[in-house]
Amino acid sequence: MCGIFGVYGHRDAAALTQLGLYSLQHRGQESAGIVAVDEIGRARVSRAMGLVSEGFEEAEMMDLKGPVAIGHTRYSTAGASAIENAQPILARVRHGHIALAHNGNLTNAIELRRELEDDGAIFSSTMDSEVIVHRIARATAREPEARVAQALAGVEGAYCLMVVLDETVVAARDPHGWRPLVMGRLGDGWVFASETCALDIVGATLEREVLPGEIVAIDQHGLRSVQLPAAEQVHRCVFEHVYFARPDSKVFGGSVDRSRRALGRQLAIECPAPGAELVFAVPDSSNSAALGYSEESGIPYELALIRNHYIGRTFIQPTQAGRDAKVKVKYNPVRELLEGKSVVMVDDSIVRGTTTRGLVSLVRAAGAREVDRKSVV
């Protein structure tokens, strides 16, 4: 899970991209980066480890000029958490440059990388994303969208891409539609983002989703779209609505908040809690589900667990030790609400169980008589 963002046709493209990345920070906290292309086709890149707020100095942003920019926030699923794996990737090639920001996982990346290395390719990172850059560089098609389509032929897995080929911006989504990607208008320009909340922050108007298997190209000649061979079935990642996305976003055409509330109401029907005196969420991604559980069950909803918002998301910490350490300082129970009561704790999911066990112990230590743990998935 990563966040990607792109702008075409706005003089402040890099500044808008930085704003967009703030809205996508929840999708990756390990590194952030921006590539910008100016009016004469010069591409510049700024990448740094850490949060968006930590990564871009004012002088760097002043240097990222031009009407084209793409950006990335990273949660590593392939490749180490290191600066050489920060994105966007910027490669200088014979006839210009290729910049790429990728959200997803390539399931055949090892095989594709081996083929490229056997053909003389040299890799500078351990990311699966770099495979796509090499394949685009080797593509023989003339039009940018056709080059990307040629590069993606034979690539398997989940991907949403923002690519810059010279002055052309290309957005692509895998034929299964695993991850979300939307496009919007901002004046005469275009904006792409992993979630609609990133369109909102820059004042763009949502046009539509990039369709599964669609490749959209925008340059001085206008907008063009081509379609990759269709998959047998569309597979949308349920975790986008359960956990990954912000509740103020629309993902796969639906409101994330409404989906989570509906899941919470269904959870109350399937897993009632007779005798419980209050419901609370494991904030923040479970807030809507806990409200839905309360609405359906009639059990009062309370803010009984407080999150320290200066601590990042524990799920996207790259190591278990990091996740455990973050849990200890991330949450604090409100003893006055919990003491002596039977309570329902609603969480969005149980992936490893380590966070949940620690939270139950924390709530019991605050005086709760009984903790009924509920999970959406």
Q: Which residues are designated catalytic?
A: 2
In Å, what is the CA distance from 122 to each residue of 44, 89, 116, 148?
A: 22, 14, 8, 20
Q: Which residues contact 142 (CB under 8 A, 6 or more apart)?
A: none
Q: Which residues contact 87 (CB under 8 A, 6 or more apart)?
A: 2, 31, 33, 47, 72, 74, 100, 101, 102, 127, 129
Residue 218, beta-bridge partner list: 169, 223
Determine the Cα–Cα distance for residues 31 and 190; give it in Å rounded to an integer: 25
Q: Which residues contact 279 (CB under 8 A, 6 or more apart)?
A: 273, 290, 293, 294, 297, 299, 300, 301, 302, 343, 344, 346
- CB count within 10 Å of CB 361 equals 11
Determine the Cα–Cα distance for residues 282 and 346; give it in Å rounded to an integer: 6
The identity of residue 62, as a single letter, is M
Phi, psi of 170 (to 5 degrees): -125, 130
Q: Which residues contact 339 (CB under 8 A, 6 or more apart)?
A: 366, 367, 368
Q: Is the peptide bond before 274 cis (omega within 30 degrees of 0)?
A: no
- The answer to whether residues 47 and 93 touch, using CB atoms and an 8 Å cutoff, is no
- The answer to whether residues 159 and 104 touch, using CB atoms and an 8 Å cutoff, is yes
Structure tokens at 159: 């991907």
